[in-house]
């Protein structure tokens, strides 16, 4: 019994193997003349079909063939078989595809696909095809591509404006794509996917372009505020954008533009050297010229500070650099605490916060010798106790020294017994403002370094001295002697007559 069962099992196995072999060789023989499973030609499923059947499929397609073309700007077009005299032509290529397949490896085709492509299953009139392509709407109202670029300055910075692909076609590329599609009887063609459009040269991801934008923005993020009292000046990207020099990806500041900007600030806000309208204690409105008081911007240092701040992208309020400062900004930079020196009336007034706290007679520079005290607006340079004033042919110790114009200042003058009036014309100082000791001490306590000193009025030349009769005689005699030496003396027989005084209306005497 056991032996019989063994024989039966063997026969069954042999039978199965035989069936499998029969099926395998049967399909192998079939696929000698037919395409295996999963085979496509030009994306057409040809599995199990013979060469004749495949050619029949493409012949049928060729007879009613239409190529539908799409492109940018929603443009579409088509090429019909009849317009280009399309006809199927195989040239043995289908045969070659079948020859290339291994009919005995057909089981592998169950697990993979095989795709063949050909552009020679159809023939056409090339001239007609190009004429049809030329007539399509794709070439009408084309837009040239535009490179990605840097935006104008806006909203605090620069950005990269993306490229515009446009709709400009490369006609040769279109011809090639259409010919390939028609030759393969492909029914749809996307000109964008077929890479038929002219491309921009620079795209938004361009490394150089983005680096340049980043470098520009490092400067224009700067936001500086300068306080000029009731006025404020803002330096931000709206101004800085015009200062930038771009060289490749490098960005730098145009120093000349920064210089112009600082010059404009100084022009608008500096008061140094300008005339000032001033209301005197007596109520007169006068104009005071000269002096070194006022806002005087240190332009080179300010330029350097601004360049550094912009290069660092600084934000906030930063001070300007000055050679000299006023007490307040604006046209009235004197403020309400100052010293007023009225040279006409030889009087000094000291104001604190708008209130006069002390006044005094004084003696200013000696006019007769040209040492008059200069007018102008100055500031207290410093103040010093127990100083010695040294000049040409003099050395004077003083208890209170308050210079405001070089070596000219206010100080006590204990060697004087009187002040005020017209003493200064012929008996004045070397240019300083002399004060009584008691007044000088109090003024010294009130004034401070940098406080404005307004000096105005006063005589600039001594009045002509009236000659005595004897001086007049000597002057006339001198004139006559000069005339004798020059040979211009009128004829006279008596030399003594030459010494006789002539009347003012005599022709030989100049007008007095």
DSSP bridge partners of 278: 286
| Domain end among 324, 358, 377 | 324
**Domain check: are 345 and 449 in the same one?**
yes
Sequence-ordered list of residues with C-beta below 8 angstroms from that of 345, at least 6 positions apart, any chain: 282, 420, 457
Sequence-ordered list of residues with C-beta below 8 angstroms from that of 290, at least 6 positions apart, any chain: 374, 375, 376, 377
Number of domains the chain is built from:
4
In a domain, 188, yes or no: no
Scored b (16 or more CB within 10 A) or e, 294-332 reads bbbbbbeebbebbbebbeeebeeeeebbbebbbbebeee
pLDDT classification of 506: cutoffs 50, 70, 90: very low
pLDDT digits (tens, 9 = 90+) for 314-339: 999 888 899 999 999 887 899 999 99
Sequence-ordered list of residues with C-beta below 8 angstroms from that of 129, at least 6 positions apart, any chain: 79, 84, 175, 178, 179, 182
In a domain, 477, yes or no: yes
pLDDT classification of 89: cutoffs 50, 70, 90: confident
In a domain, 167, yes or no: no
Mean pLDDT of 417-421: 95
pLDDT at 303 over 90: yes
Scored b (16 or more CB within 10 A) or e, 343-365 reads bebbbbbbbeeeeeeebbbbbbb
The CATH number assigned to the domain holding 412 equals: 2.40.440.10
DSSP bridge partners of 349: 340, 359
User: What is the structure's pLDDT at 138?
Assistant: 94
In a domain, 147, yes or no: no
- Nearest partner of 293 among 377, 402, 405, judged by Cα: 377
pLDDT at 129 over 80: yes
The total of other beta-carbon atoms located within 10 Å of residue 89's CB is: 14
Higher pLDDT, 458 or 392: 458
| Domain end among 324, 354, 388 | 324
Q: What is the C-alpha separation between 94 and 88, in angstroms, rounded? A: 12
In a domain, 298, yes or no: yes
**Domain check: are 408 and 342 in the same one?**
yes
**Domain check: are 282 and 361 in the same one?**
no
pLDDT digits (tens, 9 = 90+) for 168-197: 999 999 999 999 999 888 999 999 999 999
Domain containing residue 275? 223-324
User: What is the structure's pLDDT at 499?
Assistant: 35
340 φ, ψ to 5°?
Answer: -110, 125
pLDDT digits (tens, 9 = 90+) for 98-122: 888 888 888 888 888 888 887 667 7
Note whether 363 and 440 are within 8 A (CB): no
**Domain check: are 363 and 424 in the same one?**
yes
Higher pLDDT, 451 or 504: 451
**Domain check: are 372 and 446 in the same one?**
yes
Angle between helices 126-134 and 171-183 (to 10 degrees): 130
Average pLDDT score over the chain: 87
Share of the chain above pLDDT 70, in %: 89
Tokens of 221: 């993020």
Dihedral sign, CA of 21, 27, 33, 35?
negative
In a domain, 330, yes or no: no
Note whether 293 and 326 are within 8 A (CB): yes
How far is residue 63 CA from its own chain's centroid?
68
**Domain check: are 401 and 379 in the same one?**
yes
In a domain, 12, yes or no: no
- Nearest partner of 258 among 229, 301, 227, 289, judged by Cα: 301
Mean pLDDT of 271-298: 94
**Domain check: are 432 and 355 in the same one?**
yes
Note whether 330 and 230 are within 8 A (CB): yes
User: What is the structure's pLDDT at 38?
Assistant: 85
Mean pLDDT of 374-403: 92
**Domain check: are 386 and 278 in the same one?**
no
The CATH number assigned to the domain holding 249 equals: 3.10.20.800
Note whether 143 and 164 are within 8 A (CB): yes
How far is residue 51 CA from its own chain's centroid?
74
The total of other beta-carbon atoms located within 10 Å of residue 452's CB is: 24
**Domain check: are 288 and 368 in the same one?**
no
In a domain, 232, yes or no: yes
Q: What is the C-alpha separation between 341 and 161, in angstroms, rounded? A: 66
- Nearest partner of 302 among 336, 267, 277, 326, judged by Cα: 267
Model confidence pTM above 0.75? no
| Domain end among 413, 429, 456 | 456
**Domain check: are 428 and 475 in the same one?**
no
User: What is the structure's pLDDT at 466?
Assistant: 64
Coil, helix or strand at residue 423: helix
Most confident of 55-64, 393-402, 454-463: 393-402
pLDDT at 477 over 80: no
How many residues make up the chain in this entry?
512
pLDDT classification of 487: cutoffs 50, 70, 90: low
**Domain check: are 93 and 40 in the same one?**
yes
Note whether 137 and 75 are within 8 A (CB): yes
Q: What is the C-alpha separation between 198 and 402, in angstroms, rounded? A: 82
C-alpha torsion 158→162→167→168, nearest 10? 70
User: What is the structure's pLDDT at 120?
Assistant: 65
* Measured CA distances, 223 to 53, 250, 302 (Å): 79, 21, 16
* DSSP structure string for 258-307: HHHHHHHHHHHH--TT--EEEE-TTS-EEEE---S-S-EE-HHHHHHHHH
**Domain check: are 130 and 34 in the same one?**
yes
pLDDT at 447 over 80: yes
């Amino acid at each position: 019994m056991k032996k019989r069962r063994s024989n039966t099992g063997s026969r069954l196995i042999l039978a199965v193997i035989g069936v499998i072999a029969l099926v395998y060789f049967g399909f192998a023989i079939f696929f000698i003349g037919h395409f295996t499973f999963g085979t496509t030609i030009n994306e057409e499923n040809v599995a199990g079909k013979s060469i004749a059947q495949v050619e029949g499929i493409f012949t049928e397609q060729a007879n009613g063939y239409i190529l539908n073309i799409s492109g940018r700007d929603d443009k579409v077009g088509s090429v019909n078989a009849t317009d280009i005299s399309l006809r199927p032509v195989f040239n043995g290529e289908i045969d070659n595809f079948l020859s290339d397949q291994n009919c005995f490896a057909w089981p592998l085709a169950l697990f993979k696909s095989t795709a063949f492509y050909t552009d020679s299953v159809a023939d056409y009139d090339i001239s007609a095809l190009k004429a049809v392509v030329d007539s399509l709407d794709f070439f009408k109202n084309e837009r040239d591509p535009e490179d990605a670029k840097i935006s104008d300055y806006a909203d605090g910075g620069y950005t990269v404006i993306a490229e515009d692909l446009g709709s400009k076609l490369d006609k040769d590329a279109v011809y090639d794509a259409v010919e390939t599609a028609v030759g393969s009887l492909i029914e749809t063609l996307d000109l964008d996917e077929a890479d038929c459009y002219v491309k921009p040269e620079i795209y938004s991801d361009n490394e150089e372009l983005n680096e340049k934008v980043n470098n520009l923005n490092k400067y224009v993020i700067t936001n500086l505020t300068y306080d000029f009292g009731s006025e404020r000046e803002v330096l931000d990207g709206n101004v800085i954008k015009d200062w930038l020099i771009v060289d490749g990806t490098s960005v730098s500041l145009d120093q000349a533009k920064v210089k112009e900007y600082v010059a404009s600030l100084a022009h608008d806000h500096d008061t140094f050297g300008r005339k000032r309208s001033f209301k005197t204690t007596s109520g007169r409105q006068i104009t005071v010229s000269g002096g070194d008081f006022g806002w005087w911007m240190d332009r080179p240092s300010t330029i350097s500070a601004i360049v550094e701040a912009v290069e660092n992208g600084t934000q906030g309020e930063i001070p300007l650099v000055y050679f000299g400062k006023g007490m307040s900004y604006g046209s009235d930079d004197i403020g309400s605490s100052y010293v007023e020196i009225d040279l006409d009336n030889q009087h000094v007034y000291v104001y604190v916060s708008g209130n006069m706290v002390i006044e005094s007679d004084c003696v200013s520079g000696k006019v007769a010798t040209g040492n008059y005290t200069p007018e102008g607006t100055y500031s207290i340079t410093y103040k010093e106790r127990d100083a010695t004033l040294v000049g040409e042919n003099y050395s004077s110790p003083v208890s209170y020294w308050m210079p405001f114009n070089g070596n000219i200042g206010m100080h006590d003058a204990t060697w004087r017994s009187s002040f005020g009036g017209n003493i200064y014309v012929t008996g004045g100082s070397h240019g300083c403002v002399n004060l009584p000791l008691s007044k000088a001490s109090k003024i010294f306590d009130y004034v401070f370094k940098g406080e404005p000193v307004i000096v105005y009025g006063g005589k600039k030349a001594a009045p002509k001295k009236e000659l005595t009769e004897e001086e007049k005689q000597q002057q006339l005699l001198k004139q006559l002697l000069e005339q004798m030496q020059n040979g211009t003396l009128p004829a006279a027989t008596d030399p003594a007559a030459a010494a006789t005084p002539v009347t003012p209306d005599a022709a030989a005497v100049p007008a007095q």
